[in-house]
Structure 1
């Protein structure tokens, strides 16, 4: 194995010259998101700097009939953060951590602060976030706007961690929103994709940082659901969990591995609590993932290396704050005519086996280039109006590689629509931050409260000051893509 890794590194030096690693800067008024689909001209991009500045901007937009879209890191892929001829408010500069209350286990941060900012602020106090996405580069406001979830299997989706937030609404006023104050807005704006106003600052409930032993178990895919229900869920000391399904040709949808993070109370937090920041082996990792995109043997090699590093080198000691952060630089793709695009499906735990069988078959039949599947768990949580966790769900986070051409995107849309039909058959749902491949009918079937959501949007924002392509495609005037 060591010899193979050396050969891989040598191959990296020979091949990396053919991999694009940079692109020209965007025209600041030609805006898109992570998908790089549907770039449009916007009126201007404004950095969020101060509360009154933003309030004045909203009042001006309302008076002049302009549209506003709200952006963080723009990692959503369905046009949620921009709109044609709109003012795009970039909130990444509105990023202060306002206060940390260690005794109450609470933090207040501006919406543009990243999860890394939060972790740096709370780590010295032995505290951790309850729920966050695996990439800590995303903004707090963006994450609660999509009601994100993560590796924690006990705390539910992100809405459960939010105690309150301050919201700049379409009339230019600022409202305190919680479960007791302006309570109707709480489940609308959280998971509301920026359609109810600009989230200014957020109060989050925290939990204790802990020391975990990381362990990985290789198994047949057909055994995973039973293993998860009978081993993982029943062991309260397993705090975090993810799994992966093989998409390699030699073990396609037959193998999986589960990664557990189990609390170890015998170790001192202070000995293991330093936050890690630098990713290791980025260059060979980029090459490996590049081969995974384009060749069957690359997919086989990727899976076999994962098994070696994760399964054979198990029992790692890691703090909760570090365990919740995932490496990502090795997955970056800058090819101008194609991209890696996410889709995510939530399936009731007891329906998992049947759905996965159909998913594997459809991906093969439609010749979809599936690069990776990560499995996560989300507890039932219907608090958000556009909730995706109608039952206790296993989430399948699927990363596809696809051309950005009209023909290539039509093929992707056809495949995803077939998958969504199976999602509906198996009483599941799908995640809304990604490209709008599902039809209007599929959206309405999966999200039956969408009519209430859009009627409340018109109540709080009758002039549609806050606008994005998600609303255009799936709202009252929607026609899909």
Structure 2
């Protein structure tokens, strides 16, 4: 009886040991998986194994993350929505600092038209908050899903032709540096950092809270027009820039085979003389009629017929909105990402943006057409055009003079061969852009060469030298820095 009891005890003891071992192993495996996370940005071309992903809404905890990383000699990459596509938010075996939970709106000064927000706030959050006060953003992208910190880090631009680069509307911000210090940064206080951090891709520290200049909400009437590509520069210079009533502008040029890089349409936003009806248009809108254009965008990924139909759909939409009214960029800048969503195991969609001087637009398009005419496997889906006036405040400024920014949507494969083939075409396009005195935008995949970077951004080496000055231990790193800093 005693022997039988001992055997039962032994069996139970062994079972407990096995259970504890399995439980401990599961916990360790979970922790290992959590601390060795494969992370991708929006382009899905650069999967990176990060050491860990950390997120906090507390400033002191964030400071401790930085100091602990210094003690362990870990690198840190900073992320918002991760729509940059060139590894600007990633670094192998580094800490990913996810800022999305750091998202409070801190203060609104109606009289001075200033708002202070934490950097994880999205533009949609701000629009919802300021709209009842009759205030609007000065600068934002065409989509409002991005975080303020991420937008500052790439120095975005929008449709407004008065305030084009985001840096123009930034009053000040606080920066958490590599040593855990919090620095106040503005044009007057630590101005060198002001020009480095905005458009600095998270390489100088963590942007904490930001104070932005706002403007009054206004009522606009939309007017649209079709025209030939070689008339666009003169139209824009005469009918847009010299017309004080035009406040925002957008254009598209066809990539459909029937009128490849020849037909365009423009959308202009006129401030109306009678603002008394503004209140009828201030309700924040959601996108409508997404299904049909999304269907034809999908077909344009498949064949030339789809591309032709997608252009016709865009033209029809353009005609439909002609003469309609809309409130300022609280609604103009509310295009959401639903229309652009794309899910495929073997393909992805990447963006490129090229900036070309206004007076070079026609010869540039001619050169671009000639460059792309034999690239039958290169799937260019859409080109949107915005105006960006000269602004050299940011060290990595893309607007060396008054420019048109051509935002290109490209459908490509995710295989190594597809990446290489797409890269060859993109480098050719960049050469054409540089030959016409232009530049290109940096938040995208690292297809450009070091030489192309040097031509497009003459102050690039200064930027990297300042990185050594402010972060000699390279606490803040990403794949963009790894690729281009030599």
User: Normalising by the residue count of structure 2, what TM-score does the alignment of the two structures yield?
Assistant: 0.91
C-alpha separation between the residues in 1 aligned to 2:433 and 2:162? 24
Q: Tell me, yes or no, if structure 1 residue 125 matches structure 2 residue 123.
A: no
- The one of 405, 409, 412 equivalent to 1:402 is 412
Select the residue among 426, 447, 467 that pairs with 2:457: 447
Cα deviation, residue 313, structure 1? 4.3
2:86 paired residue number: 78
* 1:89-238 paired onto structure 2 within 5 Å: 89-238=97-246
Deviation at 1:311, TM superposition (A): 2.1
3-state SS of 2:235 partner: helix
Deviation track 1:35-79 (CA, whole Å, cap 9, x = no partner) reads 101211111111131111111111111121100000000000000
Could you tell me how far 1:446 is from its partner in structure 2? 1.1
Equivalent in the alignment of 1:344: 353
Residue 294 of structure 1: SS of its match in structure 2?
coil
| Partner residue of 2:76 out of 58, 62, 68 | 68
| Number of the residue aligned with 1:19 | none
Correspondence for 1:356: 365
Structure 2 residue runs without a partner (length 5+): 1-32
SS in 2 for 1:92: coil
What is the alpha-carbon root mean square deviation over aligned residues?
1.1
Of residues 55-64 and 280-289 in structure 1, the stretch that sits farther from structure 2 once superposed is 280-289
Deviates more, 1:397-406 or 1:328-337: 328-337
Whether 1:48 and 2:81 are equivalent positions in the alignment is no
Tell me, in whole angstroms, the C-alpha distance in 2 between the residues paired with 1:104 and 1:95: 22
Tell me the matched-pair count.
449
Equivalent residue for 1:375, pick from 356, 363, 385 = 385
Q: Is the 8 A contact 1:219 1:257 kept in 2?
A: yes
1:4 paired residue number:
none
Counterpart of 2:477 in structure 1 is: 467
* Distance in 1 (alpha carbons) for counterparts of 2:372 and 2:195: 34
Does the residue aligned with 2:316 lie in a helix, a strand or coil? helix
Among candidates 413, 424, 437, match of residue 414 of structure 1:
424
Q: Deviations over 1:302-343 (max 9, x none)?
A: 111211221254111100110122243122101011111100
Normalised by the length of structure 1, the TM-score is: 0.92
Partner Cα separation in structure 2 for residue 35 and residue 307 of structure 1: 28
Q: Contact 1:363–1:370 (CA<8 Å) still a contact in 2?
A: no
Secondary structure of the residue aligned to 2:373 is: helix
Please, which moves more after superposition, 41-50 or 237-246? 41-50
User: Deviations along 1:229-281, whole A, 9 cap, x unmatched?
Assistant: 1111111111110000011111111100000010113142212111113x323
1:434 and 2:444 are equivalent in the alignment: yes
Give 1:259's match in structure 2, choosing from 262, 267, 275.
Answer: 267
What is the aligned partner in structure 2 of residue 276 from structure 1? 285
SS at match of 2:476: coil
1:226, 1:328 → 2: CA distance? Answer: 32
Distance, in Å, in 1 between the alignment partners of 2:361 and 2:125 is: 36
Whether 1:304 and 2:312 are equivalent positions in the alignment is yes
Determine the C-alpha separation between the residues in 1 that align with 2:345 and 2:47.
13
Maintained 8 Å contact 1:100/1:121:
no
Structure 1 unmatched runs, 5+:
1-26, 477-481
- SS of residue matched to 1:37: coil
Query: What is the rounded CA distance, in whole Å, between the counterparts of 2:321 and 2:281 in structure 1?
Result: 18
